[in-house]
């Protein structure tokens, strides 16, 4: 294995620097739409926040605080669902006490009286550690109103300082973010474009998406933030209007976040080859970037768009109602929360379609259109008894997706094998809760029953659950399914045809590979 410091030997400086026609070195700064060069140099950013920009700077600061006896807490950006007992599970918004941050990717922390490892990229540090909220479930606006009484007893300069801290964090992290985006565009994309034998245009579009557009947008956004930032008295800064002015521009993050899973897959494939690993590491070293792999840098825009509502919520908490920026901050928080919510939902949907595709491929005897043609999420699953018009009972396993309910039959010998038996269009049926007793001609004694009746024809599906609580879960699942369908329509939530096709193609490839592996070991494979 080659040492990291020796990676650059595989790629000469000459091969990674372009020389212009007049013999001079190509300028390192990207230009914006107006042709101006980068406003903030690397040195400027280091002076603004030197510890944060140096490799391991954030970890060093955290561990120093912990070593001094301070309580350091972080707020979860996303849900972390895990079945590993050594990992800490939490939901977005939960507060985790950081107990150790010596590793850059995994930290040790405590939440809900449990200690375990958790991914550092899933959280952000709280700015005002001494003012941590304890179990508050209200909105930031409500928290601010509830805290008004307590705030009267505090020294006014204390709250001003806390607001200044949050404003300063927003400005510092924005400048650092611009540095990361510039490094990606200049340190990676520019170098990749020079090596056409290694990267096609399509590959680069898949890996980097529209990150150059994001870079240009964020530069304009930072310019406006700097104009509204009061350097002498940060607590008087009025930055809320900047978020409102640019709120439509943040929509470009949706494309990037949707593309991100595909980018990770493409990059992971390339990183299987030594020359690509060496090339990307050489790019990082020559650009003097911090010790984070390319996939980590590509995650920063996804993390950033999710951090904005958290930062604004904290700023709102320390902004008095009489402050000139209060109304704009409150409106900006709502706007950025909606943007982040939509992007998070699309990200979750994209992760879900891969699982759905793999599930469909595993079903024996699948008929009709692919699930992904209409569905993107599994809502609920379980066993029910289906009762035919003739009163015949059939035990089936049902899977409720958005827009459709799929029926399957378990293999008598291999209970993990499912056979396709049909589906119902949930857009075209009405859910009817039935009291225990009799349902027309289908027989007496029906218990825990409900039916799906067609709105346009005479087709009726009658089902019975084993227990009342099972029936209640199914009824709630059908209500959730209708609600999520309506929400998706309101938000314009759609998965592209290319993403659907790619998910199915990957699932089929994985299934064929598994079947070949079983055959090689003399085991019966499943027909795909």
What are the tens digits of pLDDT across the range 63-118?
778 877 788 888 887 767 665 678 888 877 788 999 988 777 789 999 888 899 99
Average pLDDT over residues 480-490: 89
Q: What are phi and psi of 461, to 5 degrees?
A: -110, 125
What would the pLDDT profile of 176-205 be if each residue is shown by its tens digit?
A: 999 999 999 999 999 999 999 999 999 999
In the prediction, which pLDDT does 410 show? 92
Average pLDDT over residues 439-460: 78
Which residue has tokens 């089936």? 396
Q: Which residues contact 388 (CB under 8 A, 6 or more apart)?
A: 394, 442
Do 58-126 and 367-488 come out as alike in CATH topology?
Answer: no
In the prediction, which pLDDT does 229 show? 95
Q: Which CATH class is domain 58-126?
A: mainly beta
In the prediction, which pLDDT does 451 show? 92
Average pLDDT over residues 325-342: 91
Confidence band, pLDDT 50/70/90 cuts, at residue 7: very low
The pLDDT of residue 388 is above 70 = yes
Lowest-pLDDT range, 72-76, 164-168, 186-190, 282-286?
Answer: 72-76
In the prediction, which pLDDT does 41 show? 41
From CA 442, how far away is CA 437, in angstroms rounded? Answer: 11
The pLDDT of residue 362 is above 70 = yes
In the prediction, which pLDDT does 62 show? 78
Confidence band, pLDDT 50/70/90 cuts, at residue 511: confident
Q: Which of 162, 100, 104, 93 is nearest to 129 (CA)?
A: 162
From CA 230, how far away is CA 116, in angstroms rounded? Answer: 41
In the prediction, which pLDDT does 157 show? 60
Homologous superfamily (CATH) of 160-353 is Dbl homology (DH) domain (1.20.900.10)
Confidence band, pLDDT 50/70/90 cuts, at residue 494: confident
Helix extents (H) in 239-376: 240-246, 252-270, 274-286, 294-317, 326-362
Q: What is the CATH number of domain 367-488?
A: 2.30.29.30
From CA 291, how far away is CA 483, in angstroms rounded? Answer: 44
From CA 417, how far away is CA 411, in angstroms rounded? Answer: 5
In the prediction, which pLDDT does 5 show? 37
Average pLDDT over residues 428-437: 90
Q: Give 376-431 as a 3 state SS string.
A: CCEEEEEEEEEECCCCCEEEEEEEEECCEEEEEEECCCCCCCEEEEEEEECCCEEE
From CA 94, how far away is CA 112, in angstroms rounded? Answer: 10
The pLDDT of residue 170 is above 90 = yes
Confidence band, pLDDT 50/70/90 cuts, at residue 413: confident
Domain extents for the chain? 58-126, 160-353, 367-488
Q: Which two tokens stand for residue 204?
A: 């680069």
Q: Which of 120, 92, 129, 174 is nearest to 314 (CA)?
A: 129
Reduce the DSSP state of residue 344 to 3 states and report it: helix
In the prediction, which pLDDT does 516 show? 55
């Amino acid at each position: 294995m080659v040492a990291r410091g020796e990676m650059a030997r595989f790629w000469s400086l000459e091969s990674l620097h372009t020389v212009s026609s007049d013999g001079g070195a190509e300028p390192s700064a990207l230009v914006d739409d107006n042709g101006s060069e980068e406003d903030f140099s690397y040195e400027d950013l280091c002076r603004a926040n030197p510890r944060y920009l140096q490799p391991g700077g954030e970890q060093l600061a955290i561990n120093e605080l912990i070593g001094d006896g301070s309580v350091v807490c972080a707020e979860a950006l996303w849900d972390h669902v895990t079945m590993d007992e050594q990992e800490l599970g939490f939901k977005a918004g939960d507060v985790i006490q950081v107990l150790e941050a010596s590793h850059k990717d995994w930290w040790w922390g405590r939440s809900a009286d449990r200690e375990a490892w958790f991914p550092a990229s899933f959280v952000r540090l709280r700015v005002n550690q001494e003012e941590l909220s304890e179990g508050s479930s209200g909105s930031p606006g409500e928290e601010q109103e509830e805290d008004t009484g307590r705030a009267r007893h505090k020294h006014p300069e204390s709250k001003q300082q806390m607001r200044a801290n949050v404003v300063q964090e927003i400005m510092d992290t924005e400048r650092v973010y611009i540095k990361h985006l510039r490094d990606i565009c200049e340190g990676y994309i520019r170098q990749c474009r020079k090596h056409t034998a290694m990267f096609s245009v399509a590959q680069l579009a898949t890996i980097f998406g529209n990150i150059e557009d994001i870079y240009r947008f964020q530069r304009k956004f930072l310019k406006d933030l700097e104009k509204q930032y009061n350097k002498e008295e940060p607590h008087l800064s009025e930055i809320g209007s900047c978020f409102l002015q640019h709120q439509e521009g943040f929509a470009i993050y949706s494309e990037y976040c949707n593309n991100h899973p595909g980018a990770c897959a493409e990059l992971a494939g390339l990183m299987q080859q030594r020359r690509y690993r060496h090339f990307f590491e050489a790019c990082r070293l020559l650009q003097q970037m911090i010790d984070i792999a390319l996939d980590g840098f590509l995650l920063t825009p996804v993390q950033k768009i999710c951090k904005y509502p958290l930062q604004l919520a904290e700023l709102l908490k320390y902004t008095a109602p009489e402050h000139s920026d209060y109304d704009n901050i409150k409106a900006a928080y709502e706007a950025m929360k909606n943007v982040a919510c939509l992007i998070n939902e699309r990200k979750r949907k994209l992760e879900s379609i891969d699982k759905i595709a793999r599930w469909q491929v595993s079903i024996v005897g699948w008929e009709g259109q692919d699930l992904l043609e209409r569905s993107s999420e599994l809502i609920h699953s379980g066993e029910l008894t289906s009762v035919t018009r003739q009163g015949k009972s059939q035990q089936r396993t049902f899977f409720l997706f958005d827009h459709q309910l799929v029926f399957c039959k378990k293999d008598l010998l291999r209970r993990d094998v499912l056979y396709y038996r049909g589906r119902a269009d949930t857009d075209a049926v009405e859910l009817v809760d039935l009291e225990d007793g009799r349902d027309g001609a289908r027989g007496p004694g029906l218990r825990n029953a409900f039916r799906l009746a067609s709105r346009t024809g005479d087709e009726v599906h009658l089902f019975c659950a084993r227990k009342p609580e099972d029936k209640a879960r199914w009824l709630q699942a059908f209500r959730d399914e209708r609600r999520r369908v309506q929400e998706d329509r309101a938000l314009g939530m759609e998965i592209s045809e290319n993403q659907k096709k790619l998910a199915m193609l990957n699932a089929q490839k994985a299934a064929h590979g598994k079947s070949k592996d079983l055959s090689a070991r003399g085991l019966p494979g499943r027909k795909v």
